[in-house]
């Protein structure tokens, strides 16, 4: 098979079971996915890093033979997760086209270095999932460990699989899209692939998250599919059958980066000018607000009164949140007010202690 080119197709669609469980399940899933005509690469976990011991930990090296067979039958390249240098050796023996580093591995610089050392000299495609927790430097560090051993940067891609978070959320792993935007700013030419399966944790949300990734100009998707999701040995709730996967992929609208229409460009420019004007007024007002806060700080200092006055802040928040005139969500209002409050307190603190 010719060398896989990570940048040859956009969007790049990767799909396959969370885990290769049996030869039959692997081949059947891959054949049916290939039959949809919507899949570019087949994936499967062979070694599964599990949160709790005793869960299904993967079939190991024999699964590589099943995947290699699936590649032979379908003509599609194959991708597996590697977590140790031994996994890398095994994957390279089977000429696996794409090796990915999982979220539980990206968190550990020793493991990433071990994998990087084993990859030295390869021209395989390497995808790096974001670490479990929202730490962009750690993610970028993994990229650096690969390039430091001489891996061509054009053969490296990123996978956004969401971040673990505390508290309730409708997602298994919170997307925190803004962090991905930050990572893209650091590596603007590196393909960014979204993994809606691990973000959602359930099949119902897959479409919504996939479309959002398309709207944010991701370069592709990696999605899990199983011939009988309810019986899957790992990640049962988030997998869908191959035919449904074909429909899901077809339903995603990958919008154009831009269009060459004069009307569109004029209207866009007009709106952007308005936005720029409003932003400048917004910050002018914020600046004025801070100056008033500074005066209050001086007043409190001169009268030896504490910065925080019981109830006052809650009143401000309640008044804005309760306003019927604003078409703004409550979390948004609270975030903005909190940022203003923090800045205000820190300035008053400085004035008090001058």
Interface residues toward ligand PEP, by CB under 6 A: 18, 45, 81, 102-104, 129, 161, 198
CA-to-CA dists, residue 281 to 277, 284, 285, 286, angstroms: 6, 5, 6, 9
Residue (97 or 235) nearer to Mn ion, CB: 235
* Cα(98)–Cα(151) distance, integer angstroms: 13
**Residue 32: other Cβ atoms inside 10 A:** 18
Task: List the single partner that 221 binds among Mn ion, ligand PEP, none, CB under 5 to 8 Å by kind.
Answer: none
Judge whether 36 and 243 are in contact, CB under 8 Å: yes
Q: Which of 235, 249, 297, 344 binds Mn ion (CB under 5 A)?
A: 235
Question: For Mn ion, which stretch binds (CB under 5 A), given 4-12, 163-171, 235-243, 326-334?
Answer: 235-243
Residue (176 or 233) nearer to Mn ion, CB: 233
Task: List the single partner that 129 binds among Mn ion, ligand PEP, none, CB under 5 to 8 Å by kind.
Answer: ligand PEP
Residue (192 or 344) nearer to ligand PEP, CB: 192
Position closest to Mn ion via CB: 18
Judge whether 142 and 110 are in contact, CB under 8 Å: no
Task: List the single partner that 101 binds among ligand PEP, Mn ion, none, CB under 5 to 8 Å by kind.
Answer: none
Residue identified by tokens 């300035």 is 347
Q: How far is the CB of 179 from ligand PEP (least distance, A)?
A: 15
Strands 192-194 and 125-129: unpaired
* Cα(4)–Cα(76) distance, integer angstroms: 10
Is residue 18 within the footprint of Mn ion (CB under 5 A)? yes
* Cα(29)–Cα(350) distance, integer angstroms: 63
* Cα(10)–Cα(47) distance, integer angstroms: 28
Q: How far is the CB of 100 from ligand PEP (least distance, A)?
A: 7
Task: List the single partner that 209 binds among ligand PEP, Mn ion, none, CB under 5 to 8 Å by kind.
Answer: none
Residue (160 or 184) nearer to Mn ion, CB: 160
| Cα 155 from chain centre | 19
Q: What is the 3-state secondary structure (H, E, C) of 98-110?
A: EEEECHHHHCCHH
Task: List the single partner that 219 binds among Mn ion, ligand PEP, none, CB under 5 to 8 Å by kind.
Answer: none
Closest CA to 91 of 57, 116, 127, 64: 64
Task: List the single partner that 161 binds among ligand PEP, Mn ion, none, CB under 5 to 8 Å by kind.
Answer: ligand PEP
Question: For Mn ion, which stretch binds (CB under 5 A), given 114-122, 145-153, 230-238, 264-272?
Answer: 230-238
CA-to-CA dists, residue 3 to 21, 26, 72, 148, 193, angstroms: 27, 23, 15, 22, 19
Q: How far is the CB of 266 from Mn ion (least distance, A)?
A: 47
Is residue 44 within the footprint of Mn ion (CB under 5 A)? no
Residue (124 or 129) nearer to Mn ion, CB: 129
Judge whether 25 and 17 are in contact, CB under 8 Å: yes
Q: How far is the CB of 341 from ligand PEP (least distance, A)?
A: 36
Question: Which backbone phi and psi does 52 adopt, to 5 degrees?
Answer: -115, 140
* Cα(130)–Cα(108) distance, integer angstroms: 11
Question: For Mn ion, which stretch binds (CB under 5 A), given 51-59, 143-151, 177-185, 232-240?
Answer: 232-240
Is residue 252 within the footprint of Mn ion (CB under 5 A)? no
Binding footprint of Mn ion on the chain (CB under 5 A) = 18, 235
């Amino acid at each position: 098979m010719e060398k896989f080119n990570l940048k040859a197709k956009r969007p790049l669609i990767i799909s396959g079971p969370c885990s290769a469980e049996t030869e039959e399940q692997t081949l059947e899933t891959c054949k049916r996915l290939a039959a949809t005509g919507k899949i570019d690469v087949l994936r499967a976990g062979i070694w599964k890093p599990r949160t709790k011991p005793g869960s299904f930990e993967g079939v190991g090296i024999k699964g590589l033979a099943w995947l290699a067979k699936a590649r032979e039958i379908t003509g599609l390249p194959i991708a597996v997760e590697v977590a140790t240098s031994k996994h890398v050796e095994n994957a390279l023996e089977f000429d696996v086209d794409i090796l990915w580093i999982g979220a539980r591995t990206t968190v550990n610089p020793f493991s990433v270095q071990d994998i990087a050392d084993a990859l030295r000299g390869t021209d395989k495609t390497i995808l790096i999932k974001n670490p479990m927790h929202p730490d962009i430097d750690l993610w970028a560090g993994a990229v650096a460990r690969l390039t430091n051993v001489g891996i061509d940067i054009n053969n490296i891609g990123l996978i956004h699989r969401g971040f673990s978070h505390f508290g309730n959320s409708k997602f298994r792993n919170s997307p925190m899209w803004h962090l991905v935007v930050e990572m893209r700013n650091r590596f603007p030419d590196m393909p960014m692939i979204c993994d809606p399966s691990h973000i959602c944790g359930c099949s119902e949300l897959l479409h919504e998250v996939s479309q959002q990734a398309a709207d944010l100009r991701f370069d592709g998707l990696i999605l899990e599919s199983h011939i009988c999701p309810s019986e899957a040995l790992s990640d049962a709730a988030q997998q869908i059958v191959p035919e449904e996967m074909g429909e899901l992929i077809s339903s995603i609208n990958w919008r154009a980066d831009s269009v060459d229409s004069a009307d569109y460009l004029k209207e866009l420019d007009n709106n952007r000018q308005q936005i720029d004007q409003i932003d400048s007024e917004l910050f002018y007002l914020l600046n004025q607000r801070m100056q008033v806060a500074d005066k209050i700080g001086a007043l409190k200092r001169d009268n030896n009164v504490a910065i925080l006055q019981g109830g006052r802040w809650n009143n401000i928040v309640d008044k804005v949140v309760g306003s019927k005139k604003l078409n703004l969500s409550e979390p948004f209002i609270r975030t903005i007010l909190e940022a203003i409050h923090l800045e205000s307190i820190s300035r008053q603190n400085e004035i008090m202690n001058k």
